[in-house]
Amino acid sequence: MVLKTLDQLEVGGKRVLVRVDFNVPLDDGAVGDDTRIRAALPTIEKLLERDAAVILCSHLGRPKGERVPALSLEPVAEHLSSLLGREVAFAPDCVGPTARDAAGELAPGDVLLLENLRFHGAEEQNDPEFAQQLAELADCYVNDAFGAAHRAHASTEGVAHLLPSAAGLLMASEVAALSSVRDDAASPLVVIIGGAKVSDKIGVIESFIGRAASILIGGGMANTFLLAQDQEVGRSLAEPELREQALDLLERAAQAGTEVLLPVDVVTSTDLDAPDDATTVSADGVQPDHAIFDIGSETVRTYGEAIRSAATIIWNGPMGVFECEPFDRGTLGIATAVAESPGYSLAGGGDSVAAINAANLADKIDHVSTGGGASLEFLEGKTLPGIAALEGGE
C-alpha cells in the first residue's frame, strides 16, 4: 500500500480541504474530550507552516441529514482556536454560498471549520454533486480522519477523486502502525477482543485464527460463547442465534493452534443500576435473575499472564460495562496489563482508549489508534474506501 503523503502535495498559497475526525463528546455546549482534536493538530500545523489556508470538515454524531443545533461544530471551532493559539473561523454550512464565501475569504495561514457534514444526507450517500461542492472550496485535499476511513462518504472518498489528494500525518501513522501489526507481527501475538456483540467482531476473530497464539474474549460478546457451551448467563446480553457460529469459531481456533480464553469468573448484579448487588462468581455459577457486567479478578489475572508474555498485543473493546463502577475494574485491569507488557501494544476503540486514558497509561501503549471500526476492518484485511482513494494519489 503506497499512500501519497503530505510532503508530496504542493500546498503553498493554496486552500486545502482537510477531512478531520472531530466527532467529539460535547458537554453543555463545550468539548468534553479533545483527544481527537489534538490528534489532528500536527497535520493542521504543518499545513499552516507551509503557507496553506486550511479548511477543516468533519461529522459530529448522527443527525441523519437534519440540522441538529446540539450537534453543531461551532463549539469545536472555539476549542480549536485555543489549542492553535489563533482564530479559527466557522462557517454555518459546509456547502453552498455560505461555505464558498467563507472559503473564498481565506488567506494563507487562516483556518476555517465548516459546519457538520452530516447535516446533509448527501454526505453519507457519497453523492457526487455534494462531493463536487466540497471540492470547489479548495485547491487540494488531505484526509486525516482515519476513524472514518472505513466509510465511503463524500468527504472521505468522493472528494479525493476530484482534487490532488494526500494522507495527513495521522492517517499515515495509523496505516503504518496497523500494517506492521497486521502483516508482520512479532510472535507470540495476543489479541484481546471485547465489546457487546460477537456479530460485530466475527470477522476480526476469524482473521486472527491461526495467526494469534491467544485470543482473549471479554465484554458482552463473551456471554454468547459461554451460552454456546451451555452455561447459564441469566439475563445477560447475549446472541443466542450465534451459538453454532461461536462453537465453530472455538473449534477452528483449536484446530489451528490458537487458544481462545473465555472468562473463568464474572461480576454479576440484578441490574446495572444496582452496583451494591455486584457479586463475583465463577463463570458457570451465574444466577438466572442476574446479568454479567464485567470479567472477574481471576480472569483479569489469567488474561494478564497471557498479555505479559506476548511479543505483540492488539486490544479492541472493553471487558465489561466500563462506564459504570464497579463494572470498570476488568477493563482497567486489562489496560494495566497491556501497559506493563514488554511486547509491542496497539489499542483501538473508544472504550479501550477511554480506559487507557482514565488509568493515565496512554504513554505506555505503543500505538493508540483513533479508529474503532476502521482499525478492526483494516486488521481484518478489508479495503477501507477512504484509504484506497489515496493510494498513489491523483
Active-site choice (50, 100, 197, 308): 197
User: Look-up: residue for cell 453454532?
Assistant: 244
Q: Other C-beta atoms within 10 Å of 199: how many?
A: 13
3-state helix, strand, coil in the chain (%, to 5): 45, 20, 40
| Alpha-helical segments (H) within 52-168 | 74-84, 96-104, 121-124, 128-135
Q: Is residue 326 reached through a cis peptide bond, with omega within 30 degrees of 0 on the bond before it? A: yes
Q: Is 36 a catalytic residue?
A: yes
Cell matching residue 230:
451451555
- C-alpha to C-alpha distance for 195 and 315, rounded to whole angstroms: 11
- C-alpha to C-alpha distance for 321 and 43, rounded to whole angstroms: 34
Which residues, in sequence order, are CB contacts of 53 under 8 Å at separation 6+? 14, 15, 16, 106, 107, 108, 109, 110, 111, 112
Active-site choice (158, 218, 296, 373): 373
Q: Is 350 a catalytic residue?
A: yes
DSSP 303: H
Active-site choice (218, 330, 350, 386): 350
CA distances from 350 to 195, 317, 347, 370 (A): 10, 8, 10, 8
| Alpha-helical segments (H) within the chain | 35-49, 74-84, 96-104, 121-124, 128-135, 169-184, 202-208, 220-228, 243-256, 297-308, 329-340, 350-358, 373-380, 385-388
Active-site choice (4, 15, 19, 36): 36
What SS3 class is residue 304?
helix
Q: Is residue 188 reached through a cis peptide bond, with omega within 30 degrees of 0 on the bond before it? A: yes
- C-alpha to C-alpha distance for 99 and 102, rounded to whole angstroms: 5
First to last CA, the chain: 15
- What is the number of alpha carbons within 13 Å of residue 136 lying toward its C-beta? 15
* CA angle (323 as vertex; 274, 384 as ends), nearest 5: 140
The residues annotated with a catalytic role in the active site are 36, 197, 350, 373
